[in-house]
């Protein structure tokens, strides 16, 4: 890499880091991590934190390398991914709200670092869509570097979460878990809604003028959703 290429790469990092930082939304994910690992000891919490970011990076690298090919070959769209991710999040949210004890016991035997933390919370439809856009504008190296820097931030926030738990107490975390379950459900429904609306728009109004299609979609948004 010559000096000019290095300078271009360096100045492109804010353009890849900031969109991914917004898409990942570490301040939303961190409380979920605290709730799901609340009963774990320090060693296991650290292991979950590390595994979640490593799995997230691997999934993103695979997606960057094969995502477009797989999507084209299997006919999967980003909107399909949004609906699938939303449904998965909704299941976790409902279980958290209705069967808190059961899901905590299940978490003891499950690898929460992979699901739901890595996928779909850290690497969700928003992150994958952002990656596709950044790849076209900044290239593979700058995009993956921006992603790696974001995942380091996520890991550091996860590592520091135990100090937050110590400061606020377990009862506060328990109350927070119920509130987060509701927010998680709303977040899941939002992904499903956006995916369904986009599919309807693309499928039903392919040959319809843009203005007409937008008007019908807006009517569906207001009267159905």
pLDDT digits (tens, 9 = 90+) for 170-217: 667 667 667 767 777 887 788 788 888 888 887 765 655 555 555 555
What are 59-85's pLDDT values in tens digits? 999 988 887 677 778 887 777 877 877
In a domain, 33, yes or no: yes
Report how far residue 38's alpha carbon sits from residue 170's, in angstroms, rounded to the nearest whole number: 8
In sequence order, which residues have a C-beta less than 8 Å from that of residue 120 and are 6 or more positions away? 85, 88, 89
20 with 150: CB under 8 angstroms? yes
Whether the predicted pLDDT of 37 surpasses 80: yes
What are the two backbone dihedrals, phi and then psi, of residue 38, each rounded to the nearest 5 degrees? -60, -35
- Looking up tokens 């939304």 gives 25
* Domain-embedded: residue 100: yes
The 10s digit of each residue's pLDDT in 1-18 is: 567 777 788 888 998 999
Structurally, the chain folds into a number of domains equal to 1
Q: Report pLDDT digits (tens) over 79-99.
A: 787 787 778 778 777 776 675
Q: Which of 74, 35, 83 is CA-nearest to residue 193?
A: 83
* Separation between Cα atoms, residue 21 and residue 181, nearest integer Å: 22
Distance CA 141, CA 139 (A): 6
Model-wide pTM > 0.75 = no
209 located within any domain:
no
Burial of 200 by CB count in 10 Å (0-12 exposed, 13-18 middle, 19+ buried)? Answer: middle
pLDDT, residue 215, reads 57
Percent of the chain, pLDDT > 90? Answer: 18
In a domain, 17, yes or no: yes
Residue 137 pLDDT more than 90?
A: no
Give a yes or no: residue 80 inside a domain.
yes
Domain assignment present for 75: yes
CA separation for the pair 58, 64 (Å, rounded):
10
Cα 79 to Cα 85: distance, rounded to the nearest angstrom: 10
Across the range 20-45, mean pLDDT stands at 84
Two tokens, residue 115: 């699901």
Q: Given this model, what pLDDT does residue 225 score?
A: 46
- Supply the range of the domain harboring residue 62: 3-192
pLDDT of residue 212: 53
């Amino acid at each position: 890499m010559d000096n000019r290429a290095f300078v271009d790469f360096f100045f492109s990092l804010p353009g890849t880091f900031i969109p991914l930082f917004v898409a990942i939304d570490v301040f939303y994910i961190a409380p979920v991590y605290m709730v799901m690992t609340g009963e774990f000891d320090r060693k296991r919490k650290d292991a979950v934190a590390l595994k979640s970011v490593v799995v997230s990076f691997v999934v993103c690298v695979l997606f960057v390398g094969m995502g477009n090919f797989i999507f084209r070959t299997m006919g999967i769209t980003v909107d399909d991914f949004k609906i699938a991710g939303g449904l998965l999040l909704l299941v976790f949210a409902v279980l958290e709200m209705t069967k808190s004890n059961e899901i905590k016991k299940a978490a003891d035997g499950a690898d929460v670092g992979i699901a739901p933390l890595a996928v779909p919370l850290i690497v969700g439809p928003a992150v994958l869509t952002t990656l596709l856009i950044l790849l076209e504008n900044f290239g593979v190296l700058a995009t993956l570097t921006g992603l790696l820097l974001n995942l380091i931030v996520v890991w550091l926030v996860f590592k520091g979460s135990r100090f937050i738990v110590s400061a606020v107490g377990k009862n506060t975390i328990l109350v927070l878990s119920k509130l987060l379950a509701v927010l998680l459900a709303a977040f899941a429904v939002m992904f499903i809604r956006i995916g369904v609306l986009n599919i309807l728009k693309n499928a039903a109004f392919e040959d319809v003028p843009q203005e007409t299609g937008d008007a019908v979609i807006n009517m569906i948004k207001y009267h159905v959703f």
